[in-house]
Amino acid sequence: MCFTARPLLLIHTTMSIQQDIVKARLLGLCIVITVLLLALQKYGPEKVLIIGKDAGLEMNSLDDGGNGGASIASLVHDGDTLLLNCEIIASAYRWPYCVASFKLTDASGKGMDLSGYRQITVAARYSTPQDVGIRIQLINFNPAYANDRDSNSLKYNALELFDAYQTISLSHMQVPTWWLILGKIRPEYAGPEFTDIRGIQVATGEHIKPGKYQIIIDGVELRGKYLSDNQLYLFLLAGWTLMALLFFVSTLRKAKRELRTHQQRQQQLEALNSLLNKQQQTLEARLARDPLTGVLNRDGIAPVFEHAWDSHNHQQLSLIFIDIDNFKKINDDHGHNRGDEVLRLFAQVLVENTRAQDFLARWGGEEFVLACPDTNVKNATALAEKLRLAIQHTSWPQGLSITASFGVAQMHAHESPTDFIARADQALYEAKAQGRNGVRYAP
């Protein structure tokens, strides 16, 4: 196997960068979605509930007669509007009233949940201006304090309005103090509630004086978001919490992968360093270098073959024979000095494009060999092709066009260095015979 730390690190780094890009895009998408949801919450469409003559609801009039009063109320349809005719008659009952009531319960007696609405518009006015206002009342049921047999146990969320068409926030509605005291309501239930509204009422205001009145009711409109602010914020919080959890898990897994990769690379580098140290110890006394190119010569690279051939060593070894094409013509046409310059630059290109564990030697004349420990023939052939392209694309002195031919072989088990070198040399010969500037490998 051809091993090098640099490609492994490059692959790992590329994967890490790609993962970071995916995370950044996902984060950006979440930010965009959050902004869009917040914008829709503020400026988007609203749900609308209209209470009026054409709402298909059960409607009726109520007065204080049921409480011992004498007032008389009636509800009349007049085109698109409703008329609440009211005669307030003084009696022993101190709080006379007339009411137009809209029933919101279904067949099971369950009311409507209006907690998702944020504002209410009351389109109602007296036929003649009055000093007294018009009360809007939303009647809520909660089993914590109410029962169906006692209408006084229902909570009245109410507010008295003095403008003909007025829009108010539901949060501004009030619960009468007398009702809180009468029902001994606990503090947590003292505020307005809209979860089970049994009815909506338009009524005469407090402290109304005896006389005849007419309230013109065009309708009651409720508006609200499809999600309450709290629901949206909870949804966003859950989404971002999930995102943070995913990022945490992803980061943790990435850290574990990086640790494993680092450990593997460390082990491989330690093994490689151990091998190189042994080779260095063996070669130190015998290494010799080519004086022209500075790379190893035949004597310098010989221990590499001996080490691979040792019966106790099962190391893979591939050999690449490299020969400069038409080098004699370069010497003949440009002189030996120019030829020497080409040889030095040629060796430099090879060194710059090989790996730390490879051994490069000048075999003789224009011929070089590259020994690749721990490398099979497939990877050695790929390396040879890389070197061929590097040579072909190098800027050579005086605009020379330099190419090279390559012969590749992998050392077989129990094969002698002589036979091994001969097979690589034969592959080089075939590369030359097939037109030069090519790579051939021996089976």
Q: Which residues are identified as catalytic?
A: 366
Q: Which of 308, 319, 294 is nearest to 442 (CA)?
A: 319
Q: Report how far apart the first and last C-alpha atoms of the chain are (Å, whole number).
A: 17
The span from the CA of 2 to the CA of 164, in Å, is 88
Alpha helices (H) in 211-316, listed in sequence order: 229-283, 298-309
Q: Smallest Cα–Cα separation from 117: which of 157, 146, 60, 148?
A: 157
Q: Are 299 and 288 in contact (CB under 8 A)?
A: yes
What backbone phi and psi angles, to 5 degrees, belong to 148? -70, -20
Q: Is the dihedral of CA 268, 280, 343, 423 positive or negative?
A: negative
* Dist CA 428 CA 408 (whole Å): 7
How far is C-alpha 313 from the chain's CA centre? 51
Look at residue 115 and give its three-state secondary structure.
coil
Residues 433/401, Cβ–Cβ less than 8 Å: no
- State the maximum Cα–Cα separation within the chain, in Å, rounded to a whole number: 136
What does the alpha-carbon distance between residue 41 and residue 49 come to, in Å, rounded to a whole number?
18
